[in-house]
């Protein structure tokens, strides 16, 4: 680790929010980034699940996506209390204008990005995400392409853009520390 990427040298006075597509690795990268920076980690999807005592899939099934999105908006608002911590958000969270404005205004936002091929290979065969549940790899690719074209222009509003692709998480964390250090 170079001096420039020394986590001790990075001073954090606001929440760090990871945004980006499902499958990009926000949770695993976020956990390790939080460890490196000695900050608490929180995942907005897990908070929603804990608050409703249901999995995301169950919330979608029982109450519908709109209900989930409202819970997501409220949970992120609660987490954005000014305390420095690393927050991984669900892939759709940043589409909500209120959530987006809050994150852009009060946090350091990082768009974690990867090519569609990388996302498909990570997501194919994993059925727990409601938007791609039971879909084949080809169907997942189609769905992701639609989501990417809708979402990337919004994700691009984040303070920083870090491409993870299939490189080891350690390298992605190095890249994030570097952008944080450079302001
Ligand atoms: C979603 C992404 C999921 C979860 C929900 C909807 C999305 O989170 O919030 O299934 O709209 O992209 P991850 O990005 O952590 O998979």
Locate tokens 């029982």: which residue? Answer: 62
Residue 57 has phi, psi (to 5 degrees) of -60, -45
Number of the ligand 1 atom closest to the C-alpha atom of 23: 16
Dmax (CA) for the chain in angstroms is: 50
Across the beta sheet with 16-19, what order do the strands follow?
Answer: 41-43, 86-88, 16-19, 108-113, 160-163
Question: Please, what is the average pLDDT of the chain?
Answer: 93
* pLDDT of 123 higher than 80: yes
Q: What does the buried/exposed string (b/e) look like for 6-16 if buried means 16 or more CB atoms within 10 Å of the residue's CB?
A: ebeebeeeebb
Residue range 99-118: mean pLDDT, rounded: 97
Is there a contact between 8 and 152 (Cβ–Cβ < 8 Å)? no
The predicted structure's pLDDT at residue 127:
67
| Res 176: pLDDT | 97
Q: Which mutation among 19, 20, 21, 22 tests ligand 1's pocket best, with the greatest number of atoms within 8 A of CB?
A: 22
Q: Which of 7-16, 113-122, 138-147, 167-176 has the lowest mean pLDDT?
A: 7-16
131 lines ligand 1 (CB under 6 A): yes
Q: Give me the helices (H) in the chain, please.
A: 26-37, 44-52, 56-63, 65-79, 97-106, 116-123, 137-155, 169-181
Res 182 pLDDT > 90: no
Residue of 41, 100, 129 to test ligand 1 pocket, by largest number of atoms within 8 Å of CB? 129
pLDDT at 2: 44
DSSP states of 103-122 as a string? HHHHSEEEEEE--HHHHHHH
Q: What is the pLDDT of residues 20-65, one digit of tens each?
A: 999 999 999 999 999 999 999 999 999 999 999 999 999 999 999 9
- Prediction pTM value: 0.94
Say whether pLDDT at 66 is over 70. yes
Residue 26 in contact with ligand 1 by CB distance below 6 A: yes
Half-sphere exposure of 16 (CA within 13 A, CB side): 32
Is the pLDDT at 145 greater than 90? The verdict is yes
Q: What is the pLDDT of residue 7?
A: 75
Secondary structure letter of residue 167 according to DSSP = S
Pocket test for ligand 1, best of 45, 47, 88, 124 (most atoms within 8 A of CB): 45
45 touches ligand 1 (CB under 6 Å):
yes
pLDDT > 70? residue 67: yes
Q: What is the predicted pLDDT for the residue at 5?
A: 62
């Amino acid at each position: 680790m170079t001096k420039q990427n020394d986590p001790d040298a990075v001073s954090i006075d606001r929440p760090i929010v990871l945004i980006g597509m499902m499958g990009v690795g926000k949770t695993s990268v976020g956990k390790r980034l939080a460890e490196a920076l000695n900050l608490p980690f929180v995942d907005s999807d897990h908070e929603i699940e804990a608050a409703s005592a249901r999995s995301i899939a169950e919330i979608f099934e029982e109450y519908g996506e709109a209900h989930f999105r409202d819970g997501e908006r409220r949970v992120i608002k609660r987490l954005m209390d000014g305390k420095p911590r690393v927050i991984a958000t669900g892939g759709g969270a940043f589409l909500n204008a209120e959530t987006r404005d809050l994150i852009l205004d009060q946090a350091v936002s990082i768009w974690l990005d990867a090519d569609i091929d990388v996302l498909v290979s990570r997501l194919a065969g994993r059925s727990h995400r409601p938007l791609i549940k039971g879909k084949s790899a080809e169907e997942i690719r189609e769905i992701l392409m639609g989501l990417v074209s809708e979402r990337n222009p919004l994700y691009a509003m984040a303070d920083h853009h870090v491409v993870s692709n299939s490189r080891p998480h350690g390298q992605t964390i190095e890249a994030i520390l570097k952008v944080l250090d450079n302001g």
